[in-house]
Amino acid sequence: MLTKRIIPCLDIKDGRTVKGVNFVDLRDAGDPVELAKQYADIGADELVFLDISATLEDRATTLDMVLHVAEQVNIPFTVGGGISSVEDVDALLQCGADKVSINSSAVKRPDLVNELSDKFGSQCVVVAIDAKEVDGQWKVYLAGGSIPTEIDLFEWAKEVEERGAGEILFTSMNHDGTKNGFANKALARLSEELNIPIIASGGAGNIQHFIDTFKEGKSDAALAASVFHFGEIPIPDLKKDLKANNIEVRL
């Protein structure tokens, strides 16, 4: 059985880690390189860095930060934000990133998923999908959750899998920052309809929420930010409790 992964997410703005609620009201959570090293040391399985203002401001993710993180950590890490070309990805991988996350750029130009998968392998390509449930329909949002579309979450997830995505990082905007639990019904449907790993994001508030998303949501990995950044859920404690609930994790 594949082990379930615990992934701290570091949202980066102006070189600092930030955290908000429902994608707004940001507050400072520390230096990303220092946080990354701490997480690697205490048992995080992977890390995700999302430059949340990169797409809006139309600039590339800071390569300096990626270099420094690569020097400090020995676990895989994914970088996203403002990535729109093979050249962008090549630069990030050269600096030490293991995977890249694309979101808005994939929706605007779906062939990008094929190009990146063909060039670097599907294991490098994470497609992040921010979606909101409105009147029972899950719709995709772009640019850090600020631009609504009429694209269906499940249809888009299937399409990017067919185009070569290696993983889906699904963030429920309804749940993000609320600490009320993950969107497990939608996650379970994604897991049933797709053959690639699904990373749950948005809503972690306590250890039970992680247990629920692995059991009910059938998630392959769970991503969280503020509960880790502000010490509300220590990762070693979380993993012990997951193990005690017969969920395979790397201790």
* Torsion sign (Cα): 158, 185, 200, 146: positive
Single out the residue of 124, 153, 142 nearest to residue 55, CA to CA. Answer: 142
Contact 44, 5 (CB under 8 A): no
φ and ψ at 42, to 5 degrees?
-105, 10
Catalytic residue from among 11, 51, 176, 220: 11
Q: Which long-range contacts (CB under 8 A, 24 or more apart) does 156-160 make?
A: 156/107, 156/129, 157/127, 157/129, 157/190, 157/193, 157/194, 158/193, 158/194, 159/110, 160/106, 160/110, 160/113, 160/127
Catalytic residue flag (residue 58): no
Catalytic residue from among 45, 130, 176, 220: 130
Tokens (6 digits) for 56: 């809006």
The C-alpha atoms of residue 206 and residue 210 are separated, in whole angstroms, by 7
Strands in the chain per DSSP E:
5-13, 16-21, 24-30, 47-51, 77-80, 99-102, 125-134, 137-142, 147-152, 167-172, 198-201, 221-224
The C-alpha atoms of residue 134 and residue 127 are separated, in whole angstroms, by 22
Catalytic residue flag (residue 130): yes
Q: Give catalytic residues, as residue numbers.
A: 11, 130
